[in-house]
A and B are shown apart, each in its own frame.
Chain A
Amino acid sequence: MKSIREINEKIKAGQAVVVTAEEVIELVDKKGARKAAEEVDVVTTGTFGPMCSSGAYFNIGHSKPRIKIGGGSCKLNDVPAYCGFAAVDIYLGATAIPDDDPRNKVFPGEFRYGGGHVIQELVAGKDVRLEASAHGTNCYPRRRLETYINIKDLNEAVLFNMRNCYQNYGVAVNLSDNMIYTYMGALKPSLGNANYCSAGQLSPLLKDPCYKTIGIGTRIFLGGGVGYVAWNGTQHNPGVKRRNNGTPVASAGTLAVIGDLKQMKSQWLVGTSMLGYGATLSVGIGIPIPVLNEEIIRYASVKDEEIYAQVIDYSHDYPNMTGRVLAEVNYAQLKSGRITIKEKEVPAGNLSSYSRARQIAEELKSWIARKDFLLTEAVAPLPGPESGYAFRPLKERPPVF
């Protein structure tokens, strides 16, 4: 048994033993969980993939004369941002696209530029064009504003993502006779390919599957900088069926995360376009898991072969919420590039970059080794598997006239 405070003392003394979520697998295999738990202090995880419920808020500073963008409208490089706040606070969502984007009018639309791309450009230090209009008041007389802004001049630039880091995810296939274009990528007809989206054995919430250490307030690697877990993510669904190793068989937990955008890097926040679907942001996240006891290292050492995902048809079952599952496959099978569904061999591709997830786990490990990053106690736990917290579908109640 170790405490987070003890682990932090070791980090400060440069004596902490830190391994990645890949390295811990081999270590536990070789030495056993008890011995490994004594030796290892921290396991670092990582994930890098498209995460649509991401965005950033900015305080752009007051112009002379003043303008109240709040309640008006505003665009960043033509991408509309939300401004239902005070005078110069705006929030830009990753999937927002310019009003004149042709969308899916010529199918499949390309969605080459959206909120995620604007965020990446801001982080890269590029100037971004802001255009705002307002109704004008006695105290905020100005009605129009057009200016270039740069992240270094903004009062605040904060990445605040309401759902990231999905704990496991379905594998998308297409049973229909036509090509389909989904948020899981282009899916060829008749089981032509299978797309998945998880770092598997490196993915943060799959390595602490029952949220024993990751909670509200946990300090994390976010977009190349330091961030925090702010809350459970939207659609957090901890009660799904789990295997004996704690991992859920379907998408379960999620995280809401926050961090100062100014210290993040454009390499880890990448504007992303899903053909025929929309624009989004690929986000890099890494979470340290303090090895407090043997149980935690057992969870952290779960490997790809032991983590399963459900194969779901995106031509009919997903859009219509039928709940049908075609098969269950593990991440070792997915990573081999070939899985078998309905006796057919189907090539599999990942939307989430495993090599980048590995790089993030390594980077976080080096931050801790350099004493640049200390672990935090969670302020409050996330709703756990037994909490009864659940993700519900919409109950439609159409108004009657």
Chain B
Amino acid sequence: MVSKRIVLHFPRRLVDQPIIYKLVRDYNITFNILKASVTPQEEGLMVLELGGEDDDFKKGMEYLKSCGVKVQPLSEDVVRNETKCTDCGVCVPICPTGALEIDPITRKVSFYDTKCIACELCVKICPTKAMEVHF
């Protein structure tokens, strides 16, 4: 079994096609939508947690790529700009998944991108704009 958080970019020509449906039906893949933004006639973006048997998962990913969907691991999307972060920690209680934590000894903030679901709450509230989105 594999389970991965990924970002899918759908080009304009694919926005009206049932790609996720096919992914579920033909490749037996489970999905949990973490975030979706579809602008008809423009492009679509979905942040998903996908799971399935190793073989199915691999074939599913190949199917997505063959359709022209750009697949990107989620952790590449929200990044912390280390030079801008002042380690104040005001983002810590805002983060719904505990991806931002303050070390009790050093009082420095750590960002665990594997726990991040790209909700972008921290991006909006960071006083020094240190949390950045790179879609």
CB proximity to B under 8 Å, residues A297-349: 335-337, 347-349
Which residues of A approach B to under 8 Å, CB–CB? 48-50, 110, 112, 185-186, 188, 192-195, 270-275, 282, 335-337, 347-356, 358
Interface size in chain B (residues, C-beta < 8 A): 19
Inter-subunit contact B127/A351 (CB<8 Å): yes
Q: Which of A193, A273, A355, A356 contacts B127 (CB 8 A)?
A: A273
Q: B84 to chain A: closest CB distance in Å?
A: 8
Q: B9 to chain A: closest CB distance in Å?
A: 25
Inter-subunit contact B93/A356 (CB<8 Å): no
Given contacts A270-B128, A272-B127, A355-B106, contact A195 B86 (CB under 8 A): no
Inter-subunit contact B93/A351 (CB<8 Å): no
Contacts of A282 in B (CB 8 A): 86, 127-128
Inter-subunit contact B125/A185 (CB<8 Å): yes
| B76 close to chain A: CB less than 8 A | no
CA distance A188 to B90 in the complex (A): 12
Contacts of B79 in A (CB 8 A): none
| B92 close to chain A: CB less than 8 A | yes
CA distance A97 to B23 in the complex (A): 49
27 contacts between A and B (CB under 8 A): A49-B88, A50-B127, A185-B125, A185-B127, A186-B124, A188-B94, A192-B93, A193-B94, A195-B90, A335-B104, A335-B107, A347-B93, A348-B93, A349-B89, A349-B90, A349-B91, A349-B92, A349-B93, A351-B88, A353-B86, A353-B89, A354-B87, A354-B89, A355-B87, A355-B107, A356-B86, A356-B88
| B4 close to chain A: CB less than 8 A | no
Which residues of B approach A to under 8 Å, CB–CB? 86-94, 102, 104, 106-108, 124-125, 127-129
A347-B93, A349-B89, A349-B93 known; 7 other A-B pairs, CB under 8 Å? A272-B127, A282-B128, A337-B92, A337-B93, A349-B91, A350-B88, A355-B106
CA distance A351 to B87 in the complex (A): 9
CA distance A48 to B86 in the complex (A): 9
Contacts of B93 in A (CB 8 A): 192-195, 337, 347-349
Contacts of B87 in A (CB 8 A): 353-356
Contacts of B90 in A (CB 8 A): 185, 195, 349-351
Inter-subunit contact A337/B129 (CB<8 Å): no
Given contacts A193-B93, A275-B125, contact A353 B102 (CB under 8 A): no
Contacts of B102 in A (CB 8 A): 337
Contacts of A349 in B (CB 8 A): 88-94
CA distance A48 to B102 in the complex (A): 16
Contacts of A353 in B (CB 8 A): 86-89, 107
CA distance A17 to B104 in the complex (A): 28
Closest Cβ neighbor of A195 among chain B residues:
B90
Closest Cβ neighbor of B108 among chain A residues:
A355
